[in-house]
């Protein structure tokens, strides 16, 4: 990790990030002005001030992007040898890697996440994703079934064609790569709609990778969800829609997909339990410190993570001792300018998020939960005074409270205690969601039992917030449909051709 | 909803501020077929009230009618409804773009938000 460096904000003298006054959509391999010529301001959450403009697109722009994608799909998916497709994915990875620092600063400034996270997680993971899927696509094999000696059935994976992908604001580049890499690897062209609060960093990425991606293979259209997201998701010209976001929109996307009879994959949030058994404090050692850090990870990316460990379940026999250690760590969290490599927590992504988080803190207090620490907007000085900073917050309460049941999407953890293993499992599963969970114990068999009993798509055991490609990611219950970050994602981006071939020359004999 | 026997037994309800009612009236001028609200849950837009043209979202068996605001229905997933126990949702308006696919609050640059009052012993009856 780099230390003691404060990056200059994009566009300012000495910054490593070049900034234009405004950005069009990325369509057919070039930046094009929106059809109706409208732009919207892009606000940095660090200062609360606009720093550039992006296209405020209309459905006509989505059509142009779809035109470009359809024009490119045959060459990309059917003519180009797989080895060439893989080469493009590897070149994308190389180009991003060569500009890792620049993209890290851009991502940090637009989203507010600390640059130490973008430098060490977001951008390197995006790079690795493209490399993984460059290889994975070449390992995708069909099957042959011998129906009888002269009749063979070949199952062949074929690309879907053109897909629509809607990316959220919390990991704009990393989650874009989670979606784009498998889509491209499987031979599809894509139209991507970035989230409204974070439309710009992906345009910086397109500037970087434009030279290595054939025109029309990746297209990016920015604008309001109600217009652009809807135009994309309802279009009869897409063969699949992928979405990460909240449940009502997810339902709407599935409904649109039903009308077009196309597949939809959805990742829709969670309220992930992080369970600490008494034995984590059995020794004052690295493992104990790792477990305490595991609790504090609720503040990672300012809590704007679908798998935020936002419910902590601590065995009652160790509650006081464990929380004392956790509070010690929380007091040491450095909040401030995310472009400072020493900063651990930056601002929330938008004023809207601050309002929602504050509203939940209010609900928690009204419900009678005990506010242990934080609970307010953090006051900052100078340029940062207008930024959307919120204090790391802990509530203690009961699992039936709304702050335990709803995703707050901020640096707020709701803590409760449990008596024994079955109590822990009962509380962990008492939620509508099933995206993530954490289990901490020195007893491997207990950790295994509890992990298997939790209804969630990802259970971290003695770790948390690690998202290596190769470990599948997706939700149980209302947390979504489909899996990403694993080669099985290729199945979501292909369809199956069954060729049933007769090698017999004899008639069937029916007529 | 069944009485759970806990201290909190009131069902959720919804009311709108004058600003929200004005925004609804504005929206109804452009959307003659009516509008409907759906309480969001989870991920990046968590508690946002999603506002759509009526019929945009198919009302299903999972949708519980919490109440009406400005004559427009306000729905919530029944599973979420059960966790809202005695919450009174207060629909209001603030500056900023709408979340997800939601319509803005009347015009661009404003969006609907919710605040909450937890009601004890009939205090929220309206």
Nearest to A268 among B42, B98, B104 (CB): B42
Q: What is the CATH number of the domain that holds A384?
A: 3.40.309.10
Summarised one tens digit per residue, pLDDT across range A102-141 is 999 999 999 999 999 999 999 999 999 999 999 999 998 9
The active-site residue, picked from A267, A304, A407, A484, is: A267
CB atoms within 10 A of CB A362: 15
Residue A440 sits in the same domain as residue A489: no
CB contact under 8 A, B44 and A170: yes
Asked if the model's pLDDT at residue B9 lies above 70, the reply is no
What's the domain range around A234? 22-268+479-497
CB contact under 8 A, A248 and B84: no
Q: Is residue A472 part of a domain?
A: no
> Residue A402: its chain B contacts at CB < 8 A?
83-84, 87, 116
Residue A229 sits in the same domain as residue A152: yes
Closest-CA residue in chain B for A197?
Answer: B97
Query: ipTM of this model?
Result: 0.91
Q: What is the CATH number of the domain that holds A150?
A: 3.40.605.10
Short-list A241, A213, A192, CA closest to A76 = A213
CB contact under 8 A, B41 and A356: no
Summarised one tens digit per residue, pLDDT across range A303-340 is 999 999 999 999 999 999 999 999 999 999 999 999 99
List, edge to edge, every strand of the sheet that includes A49-55.
A22-23, A49-55, A39-44
Q: Is residue A102 part of a domain?
A: yes
**Which domains are seen in chain B, by residue range?**
13-118 (2.60.300)
Closest-CA residue in chain B for A401?
Answer: B83
Q: Is residue A505 part of a domain?
A: no
Nearest to A247 among B42, B52, B85 (CB): B42
DSSP characters over B2-57: ---SSS--PPPEEEE-HHHHHHHHHHHHH-TT-EEEEE--SGGGTT-EEEEETTTS
CB contact under 8 A, A247 and B117: no
- Distance separating alpha carbons of residues B36 and B52, to the nearest angstrom: 6
CB contact under 8 A, A407 and B41: yes
- Distance separating alpha carbons of residues B42 and A432, to the nearest angstrom: 10
- Distance separating alpha carbons of residues A209 and B22, to the nearest angstrom: 47
Q: Is residue A63 part of a domain?
A: yes
Residue A55 sits in the same domain as residue A181: yes
Residue A210 sits in the same domain as residue A320: no
Residue A192 sits in the same domain as residue A281: no
Q: Does B78 contact A at CB distance below 8 Å? A: no
3-state DSSP assignment of residue A342: coil
Q: Is residue A10 part of a domain?
A: no
Nearest to B101 among A249, A304, A402 (CB): A249
Overall number of domains in chain A: 2
Q: Is residue A442 part of a domain?
A: yes
Average pLDDT (A251-256) is 96
Residue B1 pLDDT class (50, 70, 90 cuts):
very low
More confident residue, A1 or A429: A429
Asked if the model's pLDDT at residue B8 lies above 70, the reply is no
The two three-digit tokens of residue A496, written as one number: 């199956």
Q: Does B20 contact A at CB distance below 8 Å? A: no
Summarised one tens digit per residue, pLDDT across range A262-272 is 999 999 989 99
Identify whether the C-beta of residue A487 lies closer than 8 Å to the C-beta of residue A139: yes
Summarised one tens digit per residue, pLDDT across range A200-245 is 999 999 999 999 999 999 999 999 999 999 999 999 999 999 999 9
Q: Does B102 contact A at CB distance below 8 Å? A: yes
């Amino acid at each position: 990790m780099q230390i003691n460096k404060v990056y200059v904000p994009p566009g300012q003298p000495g910054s490593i990030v070049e900034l234009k006054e405004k950005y069009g959509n990325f369509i057919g391999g070039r930046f094009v002005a929106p059809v109706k010529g409208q732009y919207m301001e892009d606000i940095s959450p660090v200062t609360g001030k606009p720093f550039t403009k992006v296209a405020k697109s209309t459905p006509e722009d989505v059509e142009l992007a779809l035109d470009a994608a359809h024009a490119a799909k045959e060459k990309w998916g059917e003519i180009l040898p797989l080895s060439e497709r893989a080469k493009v994915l590897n070149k994308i990875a190389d180009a991003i890697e060569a500009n890792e620092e620049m993209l890290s600063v851009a991502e940090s400034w637009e989203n507010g996440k600390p640059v130490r996270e973008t430098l060490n997680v977001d951008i390197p993971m995006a790079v690795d994703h493209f490399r993984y899927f460059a290889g994975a696509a070449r390992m995708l094999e069909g099957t042959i079934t011998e129906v009888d000696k002269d009749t063979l059935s070949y199952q062949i994976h074929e690309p879907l064609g053109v897909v629509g992908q809607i990316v959220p604001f919390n990991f704009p580049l990393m989650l874009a790569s989670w979606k784009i890499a498998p889509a491209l690897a499987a031979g599809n062209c894509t139209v991507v709609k970035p989230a409204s609060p974070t439309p710009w960093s992906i345009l910086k990425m397109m500037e970087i990778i434009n030279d290595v991606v054939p025109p029309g293979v990746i297209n990016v259209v920015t604008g309001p969800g109600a217009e652009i997201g809807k135009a994309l998701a309802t279009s009869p010209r897409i063969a699949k829609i992928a979405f990460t976001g909240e449940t009502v929109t997810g339902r709407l996307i599935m409904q649109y997909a039903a009308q077009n009879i196309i597949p939809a994959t959805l990742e829709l949030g969670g309220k992930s339990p992080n369970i600490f058994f008494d034995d984590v404090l059995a020794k004052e050692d690295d493992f104990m410190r790792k477990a305490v850090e595991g609790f504090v990870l609720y503040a990672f990316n300012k809590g704007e993570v679908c798998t935020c460990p936002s419910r902590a379940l601590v065995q009652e026999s160790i509650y006081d001792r464990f929380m004392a250690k956790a509070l010690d760590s929380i007091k040491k969290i450095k909040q401030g300018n995310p472009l400072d490599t020493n900063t651990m927590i930056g601002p929330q992504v938008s004023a809207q998020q601050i309002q929602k988080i504050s509203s939940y803190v209010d609900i928690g207090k009204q419900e009678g939960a005990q506010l242990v620490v934080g609970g307010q907007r953090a006051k900052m000085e100078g340029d940062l005074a207008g930024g959307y900073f919120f204090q790391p917050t802990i509530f203690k309460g009961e699992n039936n409270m709304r702050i335990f049941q709803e995703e707050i999407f901020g640096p707020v953890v709701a803590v409760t205690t449990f008596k024994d293993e079955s109590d822990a499992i009962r509380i962990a599963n008492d939620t509508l969601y099933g995206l993530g969970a954490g289990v901490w114990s020195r007893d491997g068999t207990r950790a295994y039992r509890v992990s298997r009993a939790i209804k969630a798509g990802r259970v971290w055991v003695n770790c948390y917030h690690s998202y290596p490609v190769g470990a599948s990611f997706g939700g149980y219950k209302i947390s979504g449909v489909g899996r990403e970050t694993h080669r099985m994602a290729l199945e979501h981006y292909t369809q199956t051709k069954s060729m049933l071939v007769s090698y017999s020359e004899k008639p069937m004999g029916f007529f | 909803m069944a009485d759970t026997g806990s201290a909190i037994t009131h069902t959720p309800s919804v009311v709108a501020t004058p600003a929200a009612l004005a925004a609804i009236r504005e929206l109804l001028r452009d959307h003659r077929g009516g509008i409907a609200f759906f309480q969001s849950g989870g991920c990046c837009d968590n508690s946002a009230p999603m506002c759509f043209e009526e019929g945009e979202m198919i009302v299903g068996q999972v949708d519980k009618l919490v109440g009406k605001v400005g004559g427009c229905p306000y729905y919530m997933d029944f599973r979420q409804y059960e966790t809202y126990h005695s919450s009174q949702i207060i629909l209001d308006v603030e500056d900023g773009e709408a979340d997800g696919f939601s319509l803005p609050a009347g015009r661009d640059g404003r969006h609907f938000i919710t605040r909450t009052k937890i009601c004890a012993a009939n205090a929220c009856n309206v």
